[in-house]
Structure 1
Amino acid sequence: MNMPADRDLPAGHHRLLKEFVMTEIAKTPRATVRPRFKLLAPLGAFVAAVAVAVPLMIGTPAHAVTELPGGLIDITINEAKDPDRLQADLRALGANVVVDYVPRGKKCGPEPRAAHFLSKEEAALSVFPPPQGHETSFVIDPKVIRQGQTGVLEFSVSDEEDGVRVAGIWARVAEGPVAACTLIDTPGAPLNH
């Protein structure tokens, strides 16, 4: 039986499709048992990691960051609050990133926030699939951020009956500095860049 070849989507449509799927998942009624907060990593290049050291874990109750072997960083978000603290914890582990939580109906401005964003192929900040044992969190590779570059993590968040949820993640590497996020209204996808 012949299987059809994989088809490529036009530039940017992978992210839009993922945001749509994540929004639809977020609309699905939840069980009465409150599940642990989970993040799904965006599409990216596969990076293998071998667990050979005890991870270092720092963080607040709202989130935790864990340094993994090979310099990868596992991010677990329990509550979508205090992005500045998450940013500080990631920087303490050597990741030059900015972190923003973007509520439903908003997006980060100004556009563009940086002179140039690298493609996933040039610098895959997110690790997908994540290493074994880290499937329910979000893993980044800060080594892809070179001198003079800044990683950008935007988490699309929405209020739900049982708490705040992350509906999508945008992870890229920018050339040079990144402008602070000013939340602006948008009728479209919050992570549309």
Structure 2
Amino acid sequence: MDALKAMWETIPPATPKDLAGARRRLLDGMHTRRRVVTVPRVLVAVAAAAAVALTPQVIGTGTSAYAVTKDQDGTLTVTLKELRDPDGLEAELAAAGVKADVTFLAPGTRCEVPRFVGADESYGGSPVDSAAELRERVSKVRSYKAIRGNSGKFQIFPEYIKPGETLVLEFSDERSAQVLWRMGSWLAKAGSPVKSCTPVSHTG
């Protein structure tokens, strides 16, 4: 103990400058070991993760005529710019899990009926007599629920398509800047083959 006391007495007292330097070195060491995460940095990280989670999945390579994307909930969005390459569009829909038969028609034409057995009364069923009856049928029939869209883009909801059914799509070119195409859509019953389209006039 006496030896330690004697050695301590030989060490000169620290000056204020020495103490300031030691404090600075201590703080610098703490900063290098500890990563400070600020609130903005956390928000940026969360936003980036959310963007990745919500980004639709692109199906296939797409073309200048059309593109197919798949959302997180399974909904397919089809952007249709030109009526060409129906086989390519069918292949991309098949890759997304939807069996489809796609036909592109000239202006003023439609496919001759019947081509298939419909899965519900939307195809080959009795005609509607009023707008109210049409609205009621649209709200109940699966074929009407399976697809929804407007000129240029439409969405497909696979939860309304049963295994083995075929989504039949017919597009007629309207040659209009406001209405790019007219679409007919139905569900073919499972096991019912879809015949090739024979174009006929709208009034034929």
Pairwise TM-score range, normalised by the shorter structure: 0.5 to 0.7
Map of 2:117 onto structure 1 = 115
Q: Please, which of 175, 185, 189 is the counterpart of residue 200 of structure 2? A: 185
Q: Between Structure 1 and Structure 2, how many residues are aligned?
A: 130
In 2, Cα distance between the equivalents of 1:178 and 1:103? 24
Give deviations 1:9-64, integer Å, cap 9, x for gaps. Answer: xxxxxxxxxxxxxxxxxxxxxxxxxxxxxxxxxxxxxxxxxx95321113222100
Identity of aligned residues (%): 28
- Kindly report which structure 2 residues correspond to 1:100-179, keeping only aligned pairs within 5 A, or say none: 100-109=103-112, 111-118=113-120, 119=122, 120=138, 121-123=140-142, 124-127=145-148, 137-159=153-175, 166-176=180-190, 177-179=192-194
After superposition, give the CA deviation of every residue in 1:42-99 in whole Å (9 maximum; x if it has no partner).
Answer: xxxxxxxxx9532111322210001012111001012111111111111100011111
| 1:84 is aligned to 2:99 | no
Gap change, CA 1:117 and 1:186, over 3 Å in 2: farther
Taking the aligned partners of 2:93 and 2:64, their CA distance within structure 1 comes to 15
**Which of the two has greater helix per residue?**
2
Kindly provide the CA deviation profile for residues 148-179 of structure 1, in whole angstroms up to 9, marking residues without a partner as x.
Answer: 3111111111446x8xx633111221213342
Shift, 1:137, TM fit: 1.7
Aligned to 1:72: 75
Q: CA deviation at 1:187?
A: 4.1
2:56 — aligned with what? 55
Bigger strand fraction:
1
Listed as ranges, the gaps of 5+ residues in structure 1 are 1-50
**Normalised by the size of structure 2, how large is the TM-score?**
0.55
Verify the 8 A CA contact 2:103 2:170 in the aligned structure 1: yes
Residue identity opposite 1:125 in structure 2: A
Q: Aligned with 1:116: secondary structure?
A: coil
Letter in 1 for 2:115: R
Separation in structure 2 between the aligned mates of residue 76 and residue 101 of structure 1, nearest angstrom: 15
Q: CA deviation at 1:147?
A: 1.6
Counterpart-to-counterpart distance in 1, 2:109 and 2:202: 8
